[in-house]
Amino acid sequence: MSGLEEQLRRLVEEACGHPPGSPQRARVLTQIIRLVTVRLWRENTSYYQDALQQTWLYFCRNICDGYDPDRGTVVTWLNAYLKHRLQDLYLKTQEDNIRKASLGIQQLASGDKSDIYDPVDNIAAPPDAPPILENVQLWAEADISGDLRQTYIQGRPDVNCQVLILKRLPPEVSWKELANEYGLTVSTLSSFYQRQCIPRLRQFAESEGYL
Band the pLDDT of 209: cuts 50, 70, 90: low
Average pLDDT of the segment spanning 152-178: 90
Q: How confident is the model over 171-197, as pLDDT tens digits?
A: 778 889 999 999 999 999 989 988 999
Cα(56)–Cα(198) distance, rounded to whole angstroms? 24
Which tops the pLDDT comparison, 77 or 132?
77
Q: What pLDDT is attached to residue 119?
A: 46
Q: What pLDDT is attached to residue 128?
A: 41
CB atoms inside a 10 Å sphere around CB 192: 21
Cα(191)–Cα(187) distance, rounded to whole angstroms? 6
Angle CA(90)–CA(43)–CA(89) in degrees, nearest 5? Answer: 20
Q: Name residue 191's amino acid.
A: S
CATH 1.10.1740 domain residues, the chain = 3-85
Instruction: Name residues whose C-beta falls within 8 Å of residue 136's C-beta, 6 or more positions apart in sequence.
Output: 165, 169, 201, 204, 205
CB 139 within 8 A of CB 204: yes
Side-chain half-sphere of 96: how many Cα atoms within 13 Å?
A: 10
Q: How confident is the model over 6-51, as pLDDT tens digits?
A: 899 999 999 999 888 788 888 888 889 888 988 899 988 888 888 8
Instruction: Name residues whose C-beta falls within 8 Å of residue 42's C-beta, 6 or more positions apart in sequence.
Output: 48
Q: What pLDDT is attached to residue 161?
A: 95
> Cα-atom radius of gyration of the chain, to the nearest Å?
22
Q: What pLDDT is attached to residue 101?
A: 53
pTM equals 0.50
Fold of 3-85: Rna Polymerase Sigma Factor; Chain: A (1.10.1740)
Cα(71)–Cα(189) distance, rounded to whole angstroms? 45
Band the pLDDT of 211: cuts 50, 70, 90: low
Q: How confident is the model over 92-137, as pLDDT tens digits?
A: 777 666 666 555 444 544 444 444 444 444 444 444 434 567 778 8
Tell me how far the alpha carbon of residue 42 is from its chain's centroid: 18
